[in-house]
Amino acid sequence: MAGFNIRSFIEDTARAAGQRALELRAYDLETDTKNDGSLVTQVDKATQELIVAKITSLRPTDGFLGEEGLDVKGSSGLTWVIDPIDGTNNFIHGKPFGVSIGLVKDNKPVLGVVYLPETDEIYSAVKGVDATRNGKPITLTSPIKLSEATISNCPTRSPESSLTPHQKVSRLNNLVDNVITSGAAVVSFMEVAANKSAGAVMNEMNVWDVAASLVICTEAGAKTTATSELGEDWQNRNKRYSIVLGAAGILDELDAAWANAQNPSYTAGPPPTGPVNVRRGNTSGLN
């Protein structure tokens, strides 16, 4: 297996999974509601099985953790973290979704691949090497100041705030130039990697929502308030992550702005004068 490139293999695997999901969407979708209220289809499960089968054929001793009930303990010290369809509600309604595959070693994400089937974009990164979009290196540019920045968000409810997702986004929109939302976390994260937005703010993320995207965005030059380690309990399905991620020049200000946007008692600044610019997706939560 001399010269074999695991990164390229995972890119091909993610693309195959995403294209298969698009093919299956043409048929009648059977949907169920999971315990957390999010939707799942038979395509989510089939796509996850496809990814696992491809990786297992090459690396049979690795572990797996996936959104759709996947939990396999391996013996190699490596675990693949999979979200077969990030943004199931988007997927059902023909809107952008993503396939996310991350590799974790010693509690740290070390490789990440995200495929966006609707636009046929493949993002990948290896920790300490580089980040690419469709094979070409990507590097973040920094806005002059937060008030001129576009920020991405995937709206979710948070037990720490009494505000609705829409209220939080509206309040954040008053502190930055523009907020764009999606119904898929990886879509929002890849907007940062592609320089379509200067940062992203997220609550209530599972490890499969962030494992691949953190590698890609940070290797592209983003900074984050999240630690580079996931924590020893990262395989706990009840663990949630709050992420503020963006260009280095605005990270501290963005972190403060997002905290203020979620604080019901924060009233500084003029009230919003217009609607939030909501681009694609929905504000009902993350699937």
pLDDT value, residue 209: 94
Structure-token pair, residue 178: 């523009």
Question: Who contacts 215 (Cβ-Cβ below 8 Å, separation ≥6)?
Answer: 102, 109, 110, 111, 112, 125, 126, 127, 131
Question: Who contacts 176 (Cβ-Cβ below 8 Å, separation ≥6)?
Answer: 146, 147, 149, 150, 151, 254, 257
**What predicted TM-score, i.e. pTM, was given to this entire model?**
0.88
Dihedral angle over CA of 209, 214, 217, 220, nearest 10: -150
Domain at 146-261: CATH architecture = 3-Layer(aba) Sandwich (3.40)
CA-closest candidate to residue 113, choices 132, 139, 140, 93: 132
d(CA 155, CA 165): 5
d(CA 214, CA 168): 23
pLDDT value, residue 75: 95
d(CA 12, CA 14): 6
Domain ranges, ordered by start, for the chain: 6-137, 146-261
- For the chain, the straight-line distance linking the first and the last C-alpha, in angstroms and rounded, comes to 38
Question: Who contacts 130 (Cβ-Cβ below 8 Å, separation ≥6)?
Answer: 137, 219
Q: Which amino acid is at 73?
A: K
Domain at 6-137: CATH architecture = 2-Layer Sandwich (3.30)
pLDDT value, residue 36: 60
Q: Which helix (H) or strand (E) holds 40?
A: strand 39-41
pLDDT value, residue 38: 63
pLDDT value, residue 282: 32
Per-residue pLDDT of the chain (287 residues; tens, 9 = 90+): 344 599 999 999 999 999 999 998 877 666 666 656 566 678 889 999 999 999 999 999 999 999 888 899 999 999 999 999 998 889 888 899 999 999 999 999 999 999 999 999 999 999 999 999 999 999 998 766 899 899 999 877 666 667 888 888 899 999 999 999 988 999 999 999 999 999 999 988 999 999 999 999 999 999 998 766 688 888 888 888 889 999 888 999 999 999 999 888 887 554 343 333 333 333 223 23
Structure-token pair, residue 33: 């509601």
Compute the residue count for the chain. Answer: 287
